[in-house]
Amino acid sequence: MKKLKVGNIVSAVFLGEVHKCEVIEVTEKDMYKLRTESRTILPSVQWKKHMKKNSPWYIEALLDATTTVKSDKTKDTKQNTTDKNELEKAIKNQKDFIRGAVKR
């Protein structure tokens, strides 16, 4: 029983069937939210030793302790940038509008 981190790969049992899952959130001290390979989210999953009696799922084993990237989104922030001249013109038009000098 190891404390898991976001991105760890574990083996979890759901309704008697073993699934390979990824930890997507640590909700409490010994409670985790997992995502199966079929993209099903299992909330409130615990290790078998700490499992509640009526829980349909539990963590069986830690398969891979290396953490993966937390987000699938790209980190390219320069995709939709505007030209500096366009921005200055837009700011000037906005200031004129606030002052009441609206040109039609």
> How far apart, in whole angstroms, are the C-alpha atoms of residue 104 and residue 83?
24
Model pLDDT for residues 33-56, shown as the tens digit of each residue: 999 888 889 888 988 887 777 888
Domain ranges of the chain: 9-64
pTM: 0.57
- Please report the pLDDT score of residue 102 as a whole number: 66
Q: Which residues have CB under 8 Å from 15's CB, separation 6+?
A: 56, 57
